[in-house]
Structure formats: structure tokens, C-alpha cells
Structure 1
Amino acid sequence: MDLEWFDRVCGELQDSLDSICSKYDENGGMSVERGAKHPRMDFFIENGEEDRDYFCTIYFDPRNEEFYIESFDPDLGYESKVVLADIEDIVDAVHESFHIYLEEDVSVEEDMLDDDTEYYLTDNDEIERSNEDGDNSDIYLEEVDVEWETPEVTAYYQENEVEVTYQFGIVQETGDGVLRRVNRIWTEDDDLLKDETNFIFSKEEASTIIAMIASHMDSLSMME
């Protein structure tokens, strides 16, 4: 496949990114993957010597010779692609994604710590929680860098009884997809029970999963 246009834009884009904004100039970077079926440019922020937060990916369609960015519509529940006509559109897309990343970048400590809770590392480098009374809980949090692409979307709801929500994200280290399912059940005593599961899958698996579900939708029963 001919990547002349892709390589030329990559070279010009690097010069344009130098002036995207001061915060990006400090520790922002770009990597190029030419070997994929649709070559791509990944944009990231360096958080350490080997720690990167990826916040935007620009793809190139060699057949149509066009750049595009993938977008997920939570209302319709499927991905679409937005074609970027020229380098100005690409820079604008990266700039916008970067500022969305800055707004959503909340650390584990800021997100989970409260006045009554202390967190500390165990011997297995996991985070263990204890309360003010010194009573250690059995809750461990595995550190996986997931960028959530959608909010929690309600798939099923029955007032004062049950709610099922889904959320889609990307594992930053591997690029795999994550489907998070949260099941909330209200008991007769008005207690709330919460069950959470996460399903991780690759891009190659996604199309197969979607096709299998779509072809068997008529066989499924409605929740009662």
C-alpha cells in the first residue's frame, strides 16, 4: 500500500504539534505505527520514564487516502468515524482530545480517598483500604490504566428493584477494549447490593462478538 501521503502528513504534523499549547509541549509526544492495516498516529503524555497516557489516535485509510478518528455514540451504541479533511482538522482533533484528557485526568488518590479512609501499599504492591477504627477490609484495587470512552449507560432499569449499566473503555497499555457491567439490586430492606464485572477483549474479537450477538438477538428473552 502507498503510504507517501501518510508519511508526509506525519512529518508536517510533528512541526504543527510544537505549538498546540504549552502544556502539551512540556511532555507530549507522538508515535507512528506504519505496519497496521490502517496506519495510525498515537498521541500521549509522558508521566514517567516508562509511563504514558494515550489520549488520541488518528487513523489513515490507505485505500481512500483519508485520515479519520473513531468516535463512540453512547446514545446509538456504536462506533463511527469522523473524516479529517486536512492537517488543520487533524491538529484541531488532537488539541480537543488533549484538553478533554486534561479535564478527565483524575488520579486514584483524588478519586478514592476520603476523610475516613486510608490507603497503603501491601507487599504485593496492591492498595489495601482501612477505616479510622483500624479495621482492615478485604478490598484490593488492581492498578489498570483504563480510559473510559463512555459514561455508564443504563441497559435495564426497574424502579426500586434492579438497574444494569454498561461502560466502555480502553486499556491504555494494551489497547484492548473493556466492557464494564454494573448490576445494582435493591433488597426488601432498601439495601443496595452492587455487583461489577469487567470483560476485556481485543479489536479483532470485537467484530466477532458483535456479529454473534446480532445474529442471535431473536433468540434472546426480555428481562422480567
Structure 2
Amino acid sequence: MSLEWFDRVSGELQDSLESICDKYDQNGGMSIERGAKHPRIEFYTEGEDIDREYFCTLFFDPHNEEFYMEAFEPDLGQISKVVLTDIEDIVDAVHERFHDYVNGDSVEEDLIDEEYVDEGLYMEEEELRDLDDRGEIQLLEEIDVDWETPEVTAFYQENDVEVTYQFGIVQETGDGVLKRVNRIWTDDDDMIRDETNFIFSKEEASTIIAMIASHMDSLTEMDYQGEV
């Protein structure tokens, strides 16, 4: 498995996007996560008056040495993998996602607005709110968050699962947000992405930290058997 193709594309992608799109050149950027099982490039917009917002994620499969994006298939109710064979296809795909985002028709937002449950089935937001009323699911409302850290890998099992965390601050309230992203790879090498968010106050944070610290010795390491 080689990351040579990933590194070459990463090095050329930013300049290529800036050269074909003035709007992206003004506010667009990208971050690279090379240490994940499937390295990824995440694209975002930000500026002096614009908070950072991610609109596209490009993944790299080092085993097959290919780039791909996720696409939601409404008829099938699942996420499919769209393989991009060369740098031109990648630039065109990111460019298209960028303008979808600018026009308010972002594929990334469509995937986030729905919660992935039960191995490929989706539930509508109203159904999720009903579950939330019973304390089963907590939804993150549309709020402005300043992400203070990048995604940090907390657990990784090759060819199976990756769990990452990211910490942010809610702009309006000053509360903390902990985002957990769980990526699971199926036997067909498709990826299932599940995201949960936990909001807490400064007073709660100190209590949570104290509770975890006092019970660390009681925890055991994760013995992953295909479920998280």
C-alpha cells in the first residue's frame, strides 16, 4: 500500500482549485488527515466574516490506490462510493460540491441532516426528534461552533473501524461541543459514517473530567469484534 498518489494529489489540489474558481480562491481551503486508515482531504470555506464550514470530504483507499467520495442514494437509503480516477475528475467533483454548497444544495449537509441507523436505513429528522423526546437520541441543532481542534483519532482497527473526536465551542453560549465520528468499513469496502455530538457547560466539563479520572482504572481496553 502506497500513499504516493495521495501525496501527489494533495500537493496539486489546492492550486488547481484556486486556478479554476475565483470564489474558492477567496474563501476556500483544505485540511489533510494522512494518518487515518483511509487518509482524507476535507474542504472548507472561511474568511474574516465567515466561520469555517466543511462542504466536502475526499477519501483515499491506500489498498486500491484510489480516491473516492461518498454519495447518498435516496432510492436505496444508503451511502455509495464514487471513485475518482484522476486529478481532473477530483478537481471537477470538489468544484461541483463547492458550488452546490454555495447555492445551498450541499451533499455534505444532506448527509449530516439525516442520522444513519440500523446498517443503512435512515430516519427522518422528525422521527429522530420523537426519539430525542424519550431521551434516546440527542440532536445537535443548527448552531455556530468554533472547532478548536482537528479530528483526533481515538481508536483505530485496520480494515474495520475508526473513531475520532473533535472539540469545539458554541459561539452563542460558550458551551463545549464534543463531536464523535465513527467510520465503519463493510466487507464490500464501503464506509458507514455515524456522527454524534455532545454539548456541555464549563461546570459540567469539570464534573465529567473528575468522574472519568476517578474511574479510569475500572475501564478496560476496547476488544473490538465488529461493533462499536
- TM-score (ref. length: structure 2): 0.51
2:34 corresponding residue in structure 1: 34
The equivalent of 2:182 in structure 1 is 203
Q: Please tell me whether the aligned partners of residues 32 and 41 of structure 1 are also in contact (alpha carbons under 8 angstroms).
A: yes
- SS, match of residue 63 in structure 1: coil
Contact 2:114 2:125 (C-alpha < 8 Å) held by counterparts: no
Q: Structure 1 residues 99, 50: closer, same or farther in 2, change over 3 A?
A: closer
**Alignment partner of 2:29: what SS?**
strand
Contact 1:148 1:169 in 2 (8 A): no
Output the amino acid matched with 1:28.
G
TM-aligned CA deviation for residue 18 of structure 1:
1.4
More RCO (CA 8 Å, sep 6+): 2
Structure with greater helix percent = 2
Q: Name the CA distance, whole Å, in 1 between partners of 2:84 and 2:37.
A: 18
| Rounded Cα–Cα distance in structure 1 between residues aligned with 2:115 and 2:20 | 26
Map of 1:1-224 to 2, 5 A cutoff?
A: 1-48=1-48, 51-104=51-104, 148-149=109-110, 168=114, 181-183=125-127, 195=130, 197=132, 199=138, 202-204=181-183
Q: Matches of 2:114 and 2:47 in 1, distance apart?
A: 24
> TM-score if structure 1 supplies the norm length?
0.52
Cα pair 1:180 1:199 within 8 Å, conserved: no
* Separation (CA, whole Å) in 1 of partners of 2:103 and 2:43: 16
CA distance in 2, matches of 1:77, 1:199: 22
Q: How many residues align?
A: 138
Name the CA distance, whole Å, in 1 between partners of 2:102 and 2:50: 20
SS of residue matched to 1:45: strand
Contact 2:56 2:97 in 1 (8 A): yes
Deviates more, 1:196-205 or 1:30-39: 196-205
Show the counterpart of 1:212.
Answer: none
Unaligned runs of 5+ in 1: 107-146, 152-166, 171-177, 184-193, 210-224
Amino acid at match of 1:93: A
Q: Does the C-alpha gap of structure 1 residues 17 and 204 become closer, same or farther in structure 2, counting only changes over 3 Å? A: closer
Give the AA of the match of 1:79: I
Query: Structure 2: how far apart are the matches of 1:28 and 1:169?
Result: 27
Q: CA RMSD in A?
A: 3.6
Secondary structure (helix, strand or coil) at the match of 2:7 reads: helix
Query: Any stretches of 5+ residues in structure 2 without a counterpart?
Result: 117-121, 140-179, 185-190, 195-228
Cα shift readout 1:141-182 (whole Å, capped 9, x = no counterpart): xxxxxx63159xxxxxxxxxxxxxxx5169xxxxxxx96531
Which protein shows a greater Rg?
A: 1
| Structure 1 residue 202: Cα displacement | 3.1
- SS of 2:37's partner is coil
Identity %: 57
Secondary structure class of the residue paired with 2:11: helix
Is 2:182–2:193's contact at 8 Å kept on the other side of the alignment? no
Counterpart residue type for residue 7 of structure 2: D
Decide whether the 8 Å contact of 2:71 with 2:80 is kept in 1.
yes
Distance in 1 of aligned mates of 2:90 and 2:38: 16
2:114 is matched by which residue type in structure 1? F
